[in-house]
Homo-oligomer: A and B are copies of this chain.
Amino acid sequence: MPEDFSPDLAPVELLVCATCRAGQPTDVEGPRPGAQLAAALLERDWPAHVTVKSVECLSNCDSGCSVAVRGGGARWTYVYGNFTGADDAELVHDGIVKYATTSDGLVPWRERSTHFRKNCIARIPPLEIPE
């Protein structure tokens, strides 16, 4: 965990869609890629103010696996998609830790991974919308 987290940072929630099939046909049996990604992310080390939750469908099925991240009244909420499953746990971890270091959720463009740059599905303004 980076050691420069401010104690003033609001808690962050990473919501991982466990129902995503990542483009698999619906008749494929066994654990879904979304569930595998969620399991891999739950096992990782996170900053103390980040919580990971496995959730049901985020309605982004055409671009799954999907995650959403939010936290506090001053941060933007983001939905990211097109992860392939557990193999992308490191990629998601990296992006979410960067998000968690911000107070507003805005990670500078140059610091975002190519995947995060190209697979932002949507973002939603903070509850306290900046002027």
Contacts and interface: CB of A to CB of B under 8 A. Distances in A.
**Count of this chain's copies in the oligomeric assembly:** 2
A73 to B, nearest CB: 10
Interface in A62-92: 66, 68, 70, 77-79
Interface in A39-71: 53, 55-60, 66, 68, 70
Interface residues of A, number: 21
Nearest to A60: B122
A76 to B, nearest CB: 9
A68 B70 CA distance: 15
A125 B15 contact: yes
Main secondary structure of the interface of A (DSSP, over half): strand
B121 A70 contact: no
A22 to B, nearest CB: 16
B129 A59 contact: no
Interface of A: 15, 53, 55-60, 66, 68, 70, 77-79, 120-125, 129
